[in-house]
Structure 1
Amino acid sequence: MRKLILSAALVAASVFGMAAVQAAEPATAGKEYIELSNPVPVSVPGKIEVVELFWYGCPHCYHFEPTINPWAEKLPKDVNFKRVPAMFGGPWDAHGQMFLTLEAMGVEHNVHAAVFDAIQNKRMRLTKPEEMADFLATQGVDKDKFLATFNSFAIKGQVNQAKELAKKYEITGVPSLVVNGKYRFDLGTAGGPEGVLNVADQLIAKERAAK
C-alpha cells in the first residue's frame, strides 16, 4: 500500500502541473497505455467497456472526478462505463466494500460525491461499518439495510471479484482506466486528467472500428 500511495504522490507531483501539449497526438502502446497480455472479459458483452479503478481515500481520484464525470455521462450507448474499487487491504478494502454495498443498493450515484467529500475534506475515516452507516444515514441511506447488505454473502463475493479484476488488470496505482479489458493507462502514462480522456477516446474508437 505504501508503494501505491508513493506512486500516486509521484504522479501528482509530475503530472497535474503539466500542460496537455500531447493531447491531440495518437496514443501509442507502451507509452500512453499498456496493452494487457491477457485480455479480461467485459461485463456487458457487445459493448465497449471503460473501467475506472479508484479508491475513496485517494486524493488524485477525488480531483479526477470533475474531469471524468461529465465525460462518462456523455459516452455513447455502445460504451459501458463502470467503476471498480481497488482493494489492497486496510482502508482500501473497507471503502471498496462500502462502494459495492451502495452500488448493490442502487444508491451509489446519490452519495458518491458525499462519500468522497467526507473522506477527503472532512477527514472522516469511514473504515468501520457502523461509522459508515451513521454517516450514510445523514445522506438518506437506510442504516439497517446498509449494514445487512454490507455483511451479506453477495457483497463478499463481489469484493473477491473486484480484487481478482485488479490483479488481472495488473494495476499499480489509482486512478487507472482500462478500455475493453485490453488497454490500461493512468494519469502518469497519459499525461494528466485530460490526457487520460484523450487516450480513452482513441481506444474506444479503435475498439469500435475493430468490430
Structure 2
Amino acid sequence: MRILVAVLGLMVSLVACADSQGPAKYQEGKHYVVLDNPVRTANPNKIEVTEVFWYGCGHCFHFEPLVKSWKEKQADDVAFVRSPAMWNKTMELHARAFYTAKALGVLETLHDPIFDAMNVRKQRLANEAEIAELFVANGVDADKFAKVFNSFGVTGKVRQADARARSYRVTGTPELVVDGKYRISASAAGSQQAMLEVADFLVEKIRAERAK
C-alpha cells in the first residue's frame, strides 16, 4: 500500500511539473507560420535559416547588425543563407547585384556598402551603371563586373531566388525561413530581435526531432 501511495505521489509530482512549464513559448500560427509546402534546402544535413531581404529596405538595414551577431553564435549544424526578394524590376537589379558580388567573391566586401548606399546616402541604384559605379569604387574591375552581372549564372540565381521567395510566400522584408518549413516575420514575432529568438526556438525544435 505504501509503495502504491509513493508511486501515485510521484506521478502527481511529474504532472504538476509538466503543467508548470506551460505551453511552448512560441506557438505555430501566432509567432511563426508553417509552410503548406516545405521548400527544399541546399544542404539537408544542416538546419538552414534563410533571411529574405532587400537592400533598399530600411527594416532590413536595421536588422543587419542583429542578424550578423546572431549568425556568429550559431553551431556548425546551422547554415545561414541570404535570399534577395524581388517584386519589381528595380529589386531584381539589386538581387542581381547581390549574386554578382557573390560570384566575384566580394560579397563580404560589398554587402554593407550596398546597404549604406541605399539607406544612408539615399542612392536608388536604379540601373546597371549606378551599381557598376559602386562596385568599381570598392575595388571591382569594371569589365569583370559587366561580364558577371549579365551572365547566365547570375540570371539563374536571380530566378531561383524569385521562385524561392514565392514558395516561402513572404509578405515583406526582412523575414526568416527556418529549414524551408517555418516562416517568421517581425509583425508575428513581435520585434526583429524576437524573430531571432523564434528562429532559435525552431532550430532547437528541429534538432530534437532529428535526434529521435
Note the residue ranges of structure 2 that are not aligned, 5 or more in a row: 1-23
| SS of equivalent residue, structure 2 residue 79 | strand
TM-score by length of 1: 0.86
For 2:25 and 2:90, locate their aligned partners in 1 and report how far apart those are by CA, in whole Å.
37
> Which of the two has higher C-alpha Rg?
2
Aligned to 2:193: 194
Q: Report the RMSD for the aligned CA atoms in angstroms.
A: 1.0
For 2:155 and 2:117, locate their aligned partners in 1 and report how far apart those are by CA, in whole Å.
24
Aligned to 1:183: 182
Matched, 1:150 2:159: no
For 2:202 and 2:140, locate their aligned partners in 1 and report how far apart those are by CA, in whole Å.
37
For 1:116 and 1:154, locate their aligned partners in 2 and report how far apart those are by CA, in whole Å.
23
| SS of equivalent residue, structure 2 residue 183 | strand
Aligned to 1:115: 114
The within-5 A match list for 1:57-136 is 57-136=56-135
Residue 90 of structure 1 aligns with an amino acid whose one-letter code is K
Off by >3 Å, runs of 4+ in structure 1: none
Q: Structure 1 residue 162: deviation in Å?
A: 0.5
Q: Structure 1 residue 76: deviation in Å?
A: 0.8
TM-score by length of 2: 0.86
CA contact (8 A) 1:130 1:147 kept: no
For 2:72 and 2:108, locate their aligned partners in 1 and report how far apart those are by CA, in whole Å.
12
Residue 37 of structure 1 aligns with an amino acid whose one-letter code is D
For 2:110 and 2:62, locate their aligned partners in 1 and report how far apart those are by CA, in whole Å.
17
For 2:80 and 2:160, locate their aligned partners in 1 and report how far apart those are by CA, in whole Å.
17
CA contact (8 A) 1:51 1:84 kept: yes
Matched, 1:46 2:40: no
Q: Structure 1 residue 90: deviation in Å?
A: 2.5
| SS of equivalent residue, structure 1 residue 210 | helix
For 2:137 and 2:62, locate their aligned partners in 1 and report how far apart those are by CA, in whole Å.
24
Deviation per CA, 1:90-131: give whole Å up to 9, x if none. 221111111111111111111111110011111111121121
Is the helix fraction higher in 1 or 2? 2
CA contact (8 A) 1:56 1:119 kept: yes
